[in-house]
Copies of this chain bind each other. A is one copy, B any other.
């Protein structure tokens, strides 16, 4: 946990007349901002013609910002190669699933597998890093921008096909191993050489799911190596600066845990209201939280990217007002920008960076608010950022955070597997994980979202919505933890190459939790599995496993057992509806000796560094009850009577 969180902003000096720069920098500093992120889309200004660099303007911009004592985070400009480069090398472009090049004219117009682009990206990163690597104003680097945005991880170009074949050869060695692993004997899909393997698009009907899964893994690996290409160069030239990348919300096409291994600190871009508009939220939540965003959207990503960053993370882009990119863009409720900022800090953020300083009056994002209006006047977020900057110093974090008590295990690879082989129309793994997260968060507990590779030692409860691929070591790690562990259906249902394990699901978990899934069913959205648990009626949906076991079910339905356990390991045979999951997690918490704080629908609680933070996401005022804010709490910000978008912070009684 960073003990001195600070604020920053994204700035594009190339968008504004140079005579405004010094005034902007002074204004930023006076507002209390410490950090300014620049440069990530500026290639056409840095290198306006092939090989002819124009450093002068950027030298002056960095100098001006540094003069104002702002710390500069400099982005590599690889998300937007200039037109002259694309025209010279059209093999840089990615191709879409429909078999067409994805043209220049917006951004991210490159294929991660293009050899040409890797060479060109290395060239520009080398140039920028060599020039500014030791500049005293530069305190951090950002690689590229939002890897994968606009569905750009997976390219179906000839370059991607070439690279995929190489990747397969490295993975399988001999093509017969691939044939065996994918089961290509089915439908005469056998390959005589790696050279014969195509990308899995535009097939007559569904391609082999193992083929698809490997392509998704390959695509993730290409992001990892592309990012590492940049971090290697930057570290060489700028050895003591942090390197970050700005991840996105609800985006899972590459392994963020793995990319983060090459970063010093993780960033992400938080747009809670836009995510609510485009996400699959119930109509009543879309209405109630129209100007706030669903209360768990930001927190979910905070808790995910904090573990990606091994504790070090920023909000690199914080929504400051209405945005441009959702179908509809209401403005945040007054106070929400401050709430989001403090909530990030409560989840351990080192910094919150607003996107952007001044609203651009031109091009694609001209309707995206900033801290300043296009005419230079202050936008509503300006005052909220100012208030936040004066409040942050009041938050005295008294110790390093203890690990959160509860872990939610999330696997990018599981997501790709379920994409490669749809299990049911209602089976969307990230939505399930988010639903489990939100259900759990209503209990007031701190949550860590964990990779399956994480250490589980410090947790008392572990929720595993599904983990289709297990091995003995991982089973052993779960079994040996002191935590109560709840597995959802499809856990252990697949081998690493997406076949059914010889011993059937849940695969190697059977050694610790002796039950065998002999067959499974998937259900339309209208159907519910009705059962009972702890005397109450409960419901499952979308999926049902039929099991052979000598264990007694803890929850049952007419169609079979719904929940089994042995020792600390529990297995659900269906996707639990929220009340069912809530009841099960309640039992697990009780077994683990964890106290829960059941929260009203609009309130969210987080404890951090000896402080307790309470947030009112509702559109109405609320008075927090005493089981949440103790009667004699030492209040630091706000109080028990919380307005809409209100925040209350008090010292946690240890």
User: With A328-B522, A504-B374 known to touch, is A499 a contact of B361 (CB < 8 Å)?
Assistant: yes
CB of A37 within 8 Å of the partner chain:
no
With a cutoff of 8 Å between Cβ atoms, the chain B residues found around residue A363 in the complex are 182-187, 189, 208-210, 499
CB of A120 within 8 Å of the partner chain:
no
A 75-113 to B, binary, CB cutoff 8 A, 1 in contact else 0: 001001111100100000010001111111111110000
Residue of A185, A201, A206, A502 most packed against chain B (CB within 10 A)? A185
CB of A239 within 8 Å of the partner chain:
no
CB of A32 within 8 Å of the partner chain:
no
Copies of this chain, how many?
Answer: 3
Quick check: which of A389-397, A523-531, A580-588, A597-605 contacts chain B, the rest being far away?
A523-531
With a cutoff of 8 Å between Cβ atoms, the chain B residues found around residue A94 in the complex are 204
Residue of B nearest to A500 (CB): B361
Quick check: which of A190-198, A245-253, A343-351, A623-631 contacts chain B, the rest being far away?
A190-198
CB under 8 Å from chain B, chain A span 311-347: 321-322, 327-331
CB of A224 within 8 Å of the partner chain:
no
Q: Are B373 and A519 in contact (CB under 8 A)?
A: yes
CB under 8 Å from chain B, chain A span 96-155: 98-109, 149-150, 152
Contact partner of A83 (CB less than 8 A), chosen from B83, B191, B501, is: B191
Minimum Cβ distance to chain B for residue A164 (Å): 13
Quick check: which of A40-48, A300-308, A571-579 contacts chain B, the rest being far away?
A40-48
The 10 closest A-B pairs by CB, nearest first: A183-B362, A186-B363, A361-B500, A44-B188, A105-B203, A80-B188, A183-B363, A327-B425, A150-B205, A362-B499
With a cutoff of 8 Å between Cβ atoms, the chain B residues found around residue A105 in the complex are 189, 198, 200, 203-204, 207-208, 211
Contact surface of A with B, Cβ cutoff 8 Å: 12, 14-15, 41-45, 48-49, 77, 80-84, 87, 94, 98-109, 149-150, 152, 182-192, 196, 198, 200-211, 277, 283, 286-287, 290, 321-322, 327-331, 359-367, 369, 373-375, 377, 379-380, 421-422, 424-426, 499-504, 518-524, 526-527, 542, 546
A523 to B502, CA, bound (A): 53
Q: Are B519 and A322 in contact (CB under 8 A)?
A: yes
Q: Are B499 and A43 in contact (CB under 8 A)?
A: no
Q: Are B204 and A521 in contact (CB under 8 A)?
A: no
With a cutoff of 8 Å between Cβ atoms, the chain B residues found around residue A322 in the complex are 519-522
Q: Is the interface of A mostly helix, strand, loop or mixed?
A: loop
A102 to B98, CA, bound (A): 11
Besides A44-B190, A328-B522, 13 more A-B contacts (Cβ < 8 Å) are A83-B191, A104-B203, A105-B208, A107-B205, A109-B203, A186-B362, A187-B363, A209-B366, A277-B524, A330-B524, A361-B501, A366-B500, A380-B519
Minimum Cβ distance to chain B for residue A645 (Å): 15
Q: Are B522 and A188 in contact (CB under 8 A)?
A: no
Q: Are A519 and B204 in contact (CB under 8 A)?
A: no
Minimum Cβ distance to chain B for residue A360 (Å): 6
With a cutoff of 8 Å between Cβ atoms, the chain B residues found around residue A500 in the complex are 359, 361-362, 366, 374
Minimum Cβ distance to chain B for residue A332 (Å): 10
Minimum Cβ distance to chain B for residue A208 (Å): 5
With a cutoff of 8 Å between Cβ atoms, the chain B residues found around residue A101 in the complex are 202
Residue of B nearest to A43 (CB): B188
Q: Are B362 and A187 in contact (CB under 8 A)?
A: no
Minimum Cβ distance to chain B for residue A322 (Å): 5
Minimum Cβ distance to chain B for residue A197 (Å): 8
Q: Are A375 and B503 in contact (CB under 8 A)?
A: yes
A546 to B380, CA, bound (A): 11
A152 to B205, CA, bound (A): 10
